[in-house]
Amino acid sequence: MNPNYEDSSWAHSKQSAEIEFPNDKQIEIFTQALYDETEGYISDNDLYAAPSAKKSATIAQKWEGITFTVLRFPLLIFVSIVILLELSFYMILRQFVYACEYVYSWRGEKRKLHERLYKADSYEEWKAAAQALDLYLKKEDWKEQIPYHYYDYKLISKLTSNLKKLRDNGDEQRLRELLLQGAVKSNIGGCENVRLYSNTYYGTKTLVEDFLHEVAESLAYIGNCERLSLNERLRFFKAASRSYGRTALCLSGGASFGYYHLGVIKTLAEKDLLPKVITGTSAGSLIAAMVGCRTNGELMDIIRPEIYELLTACDGGYMKMASNFLRHGSCFDAGEWAQKVQWVTKGCMTFQEAFERTGRTLNISVVPMGTQAPPKLLNHITTPDCVIWTAVIASSAIPGILKPVVLLRKTRLGHIEPFIDSGHKWRDGSLRTDIPLDSLHHLFNVRYAIVSQVNPHVAFFFYNNKGSVGRPITHSSGKGWRGGFIASSLEHFIKLDLKKWLRVLRDLELIPNIMNQDWSFVWLQKFEGNVTILPKSTLKDYIYILRDPDYHRMVNYITLGQRNVWPALHMIDNRMCIERIIEQNKIFVITPIHASIGPNSGNTVCSLRTFPILMHSEPSTMP
């Protein structure tokens, strides 16, 4: 271990994890329920559904007709061959584009500036390099040009001037109306379009920056306006919050690739950009639980390379995994995992307790056993008494890797017990919904999703033929198509055709349900968000995909995770700043005793152009 990282805070965190956790009594209850072979009906709609009659051990296969029986496997073989051929051509095409970008795009002074950008050790260094690269490529001229067909520049310009005029005239009544009816809307006029941030390495159109800054100033003005009563201001900011929506951080699955999430979390927390709503699936549920159960200060104490010492769920090696699979049908034992993950959730913490402790809304996605049962999003609203560490294990239960497990709940008296006595089992939510955007919108008014997507079978297919946030295409001064129009067209056609054949396999039910799972859902989901952060993985990551990290790999996970999020920080800042001002003013007007030191006293309007964010606050549990 590198002694430079060792300090008292880490030593205390490690000692607490080793001494306080695990709780043997909880593990005994979990194990006893886990190996209860009683099988009951799994409700599609109710987590607490009453058990029905015991299922028969053998169920007669449904007769599908002689044509289906004869043609099913020939069709399956034909479609599989087509998919393999298209996938091979797709991989060759992607490597061709990478080679062209490296050989022809990065030359001379441009290459030196890009290397400076790539080798930056901090966000400040990266930002300086990005601005230098923008200046060299004459991106500053593009920022000053108002017209652009990816946003409604006429609407944005008009809103900006009207907001400033009303604020200067002190017309708070019309200012409130304009904010609610026009300005404080998610993606108003296309101002959150990723294309606005994909043509430069840092920043966007000056008009968009001015508009967002004026919205922030106007919101602060309403918050400080003494001519409005506290109730009027409270109603305004509640309406603004509903209109603008909330931001969520979504952490995908991906086995050991999930450790890249740590770098993303670390950077967002350092810049005070970590959303209050966080969701995780599979490997992402482990990191999400770590965040949901801790304050920002506690997170900074543990997100460091030494954390590898506590991440030991996969310490047996591939020989042990193979042996377990042959004997038990899964590579790992849930009882052993229960002993190793309780430190993540600081013991037997429930979703409600985590929410009350940190103010964060933790969500974990799981799926009941059965091919037709819909996924469930566990949180402090749907399952307030659920023990979080059991949800983490359930969300990691991939068929063949870990058997489905039970969920535990904490009673009002503090006792731990299974949710129901019928032995219902739950497994990996990414099998159906890796990024549960619909549920987040329905439950928490989430309108904006920051997705850290590390699934190796998914990240490879993100192409961004016109560049991504903070990563414009490398030729034609950042204009045109990545790899040229022909290469981008071929990539798009092949990817759409692959999806078509996967849907054919699913809709015609050609794929047998292996391990009681329809595997087509693993590809046919929505995996991206408003901002999607992708890892720059290496071949070594695939070799260690089911292994615990060591010190050096953990350094790599955290460092690359941080670098992956840097290009998107400015766009995230522009979104989160408005949301934070609204939420802080809601709290301020609810507690008038703090009026003299309210959030808008002095220099409180966050800068939309520079870091760090000027509006900082401790986590709050207030709605």
Average pLDDT, the chain: 83
pLDDT confidence of residue 110: 81
CA angle 132, 138, 143 (to 5 degrees): 95
Looking up tokens 């709290």 gives 587
**Six token digits for residue 196:** 């606005």
Rounded CA Rg of the chain: 26
Neighbours of 520 (CB within 10 A): 17
Calculate the alpha carbon distances from 311 to 21, 306, 314, 404, 467 in Å.
Answer: 13, 10, 8, 21, 36
Is the pLDDT at 39 greater than 60, yes or no?
A: no
Question: SS3 for 121?
Answer: coil
pLDDT confidence of residue 477: 63
Question: SS3 for 437?
Answer: helix
Residue 287 CB partners (closer than 8 Å, separation 6+): 251, 258, 259, 261, 262, 265, 280
Q: Decide if 545 contacts 456 (C-beta within 8 A).
A: yes
pLDDT confidence of residue 55: 41
Q: Decide if 458 contacts 252 (C-beta within 8 A).
A: yes
Look at 39-48, 81-90, 549-558, 559-568 and tell me which has the smallest mean pLDDT. 39-48
- Residue 428, φ and ψ in degrees, nearest 5: -55, 120
Q: Decide if 160 contacts 214 (C-beta within 8 A).
A: yes
User: Which listed residue (134, 272, 301, 428) is catalytic?
Assistant: 428
* Neighbour-count burial of 387, counting CB atoms closer than 10 A to its CB (0-12 exposed, 13-18 middle, 19+ buried): buried
Average confidence (pLDDT) over 203-223: 95
pLDDT in tens, 314-327: 877 778 888 888 88
Per-residue DSSP letters for 4-41? GG--HHHHHHHHHHHHH---HHHHHHHHHHHT------
**Six token digits for residue 29:** 């209850």
Is the pLDDT at 598 greater than 70, yes or no?
A: no
* d(C-alpha 262, C-alpha 280), whole Å: 12
Question: Highest mean pLDDT: which of 53-62, 265-274, 418-427, 500-509?
Answer: 265-274
Calculate the alpha carbon distances from 389 to 385, 489, 559 in Å.
Answer: 12, 45, 27
Q: Which amino acid is at 142?
A: W
Q: Tell me the sheet residues that pair with 250.
A: 279, 451
pLDDT confidence of residue 401: 86
Per-residue DSSP letters for 289-354? HHHHTS-HHHHHHH-SGGGGGG--TTTTHHHHHHHHHHHHSSSS-HHHHHHHHTTTTTTT-BHHHH
**DSSP label at residue 447:** E
Q: Decide if 220 contacts 581 (C-beta within 8 A).
A: yes
Q: Decide if 324 contacts 330 (C-beta within 8 A).
A: yes
* d(C-alpha 459, C-alpha 23), whole Å: 37
Average confidence (pLDDT) over 524-553: 88
* d(C-alpha 468, C-alpha 157), whole Å: 25
User: Binning pLDDT at 50, 70 and 90, where does residue 540 land?
Assistant: confident
Neighbours of 299 (CB within 10 A): 20
pLDDT confidence of residue 347: 86
pLDDT confidence of residue 603: 39
Is the pLDDT at 492 greater than 60, yes or no?
A: yes
Average confidence (pLDDT) over 42-57: 37
User: Which listed residue (282, 395, 396, 452) is catalytic?
Assistant: 282
Where would I find the beta strands (DSSP E) of 343-492? 361-368, 376-378, 408-410, 416-418, 426-428, 446-452
* d(C-alpha 74, C-alpha 68), whole Å: 10
Look at 12-21, 92-101, 179-188, 401-410 and tell me which has the smallest mean pLDDT. 12-21
Is the pLDDT at 121 greater than 60, yes or no?
A: yes
For this structure, is 282 an active site residue? Answer: yes
Q: Decide if 560 contacts 535 (C-beta within 8 A).
A: yes
Look at 67-71, 122-126, 241-245, 550-554 and tell me which has the smallest mean pLDDT. 67-71
Look at 165-174, 336-345, 489-498, 607-616 and tell me which has the smallest mean pLDDT. 607-616
Calculate the alpha carbon distances from 606 to 58, 97, 205, 214 in Å.
Answer: 63, 40, 18, 11
Is the pLDDT at 79 greater than 80, yes or no?
A: yes
Q: Decide if 199 contacts 143 (C-beta within 8 A).
A: no
Residue 303 CB partners (closer than 8 Å, separation 6+): 262, 265, 266, 269, 558
Is the pLDDT at 615 greater than 80, yes or no?
A: no
**DSSP label at residue 373:** P
Neighbours of 443 (CB within 10 A): 16
Q: Tell me the sheet residues that pair with 378.
A: 364
pLDDT confidence of residue 266: 96
For this structure, is 428 an active site residue? Answer: yes
Is the pLDDT at 605 greater than 60, yes or no?
A: no
